[in-house]
Amino acid sequence: MKIKVSIQIIFKIMIIVLMIIYLPSYSHQNVKVFKAISTTEALQTSVPVTSNKKVHIYNTHQGEEYVGYNVRDGAGYLKDCLNKEGYFCDVEQNDFENYKNLHRIAYNQSYVVSKMYLENSLRENGQYDLVIDFHRDSLDKKYSTLTYNQKSYAKIMFVVGKSSGKFEMVNQLSTELSNKANEKVPGLSRGIMVKKNHYNQGICDHTVLIEFGGQSNTKEEVQNTIEVISQVIKEYLQ
């Protein structure tokens, strides 16, 4: 009886060791640790596409939250709004946070992970007409919220990376979208923040990083803003 129990324990240990050995390493070859959405799958889950323009949305910092809402929810809602306008739009479905935990990757290396998956999406689906990194800022609600025509919005801000190699292009696009947003809802955009990082903005053309509101904004405020931005994007893509 003791021999049988010992054999079972040894067998279980061997299985655990094998699982550890064959865990995927942190490399481009193993980019599909978590299954990425494909163009075909996105089309099957959206309304009919009437435009040939394509949009990709991802969240480098997927853990950012609002009040009862989060940036991944926001990215999904923006996708739905653009789908209703007839655009093909997909959202990155891979779990960056899980990947970082699994491979012991620090938070300040988040862009290394999102870059890997963004490059994979480009390989699978080809070039996009607009790529959006959907974020949430950290600031007091009085600075992240705007009331206009008795409706409450989460303010936005565009972040442009100085070291991306495509600074002028990204800055021009971000400025154009920021101005269009303020034409629709005055004061909705807080403007452009230029920082030293690259923010994956050198990987492809037509890419922006948008901060939607802050940690104290509500689902309704964020969605009100997303609806405006979807119209801004529609005008840009026409």
Give the chain's mean pLDDT. 85
Is 31 a member of any domain? no
Is 171 a member of any domain? yes
Is 59 a member of any domain? yes
Is 204 a member of any domain? yes
pLDDT > 70 in the chain, percent: 79
Express the helix, strand and coil content of the chain in percent, nearest 5 each: 45, 20, 35
Q: Which amino acid is at 204?
A: C
What is d(CA 95, CA 56) in angstroms, rounded to the nearest whole number? 16
Is 29 a member of any domain? no
Structure tokens at 52: 């040939």
Is 21 a member of any domain? no
Is 45 a member of any domain? no
Is 144 a member of any domain? yes
Q: How many domains does the chain have?
A: 1
Output the CA torsion sign for 117, 96, 74, 174.
negative
Statement: residue 38 has pLDDT above 90: no
Enclosing domain of residue 137: 54-237
pLDDT (average), residues 92-114? 92
* Confidence at residue 7, expressed as pLDDT on a 0 to 100 scale: 53
CATH number reported for the structural domain that contains residue 175 in this entry: 3.40.630.40
Q: How confident is the model at residue 146 (pLDDT cuts 50, 70, 90)?
A: very high
* 178-202: b (≥16 Cβ within 10 Å) or e: bebbbeebeebbbeeeeeeebbbbb
Contact 161, 198 (CB under 8 A): yes
Least confident of 19-33, 74-88, 166-180, 189-203: 19-33
Output the CA torsion sign for 229, 96, 100, 125.
negative
Q: Which amino acid is at 208?
A: V
Statement: residue 48 has pLDDT above 80: no
* Confidence at residue 14, expressed as pLDDT on a 0 to 100 scale: 54
What is d(CA 135, CA 28) in angstroms, rounded to the nearest whole number? 24
Sort 70 into a burial class: Cβ within 10 Å, 0-12 / 13-18 / 19+.
middle
Statement: residue 150 has pLDDT above 70: yes
Least confident of 107-111, 184-188, 216-220: 107-111
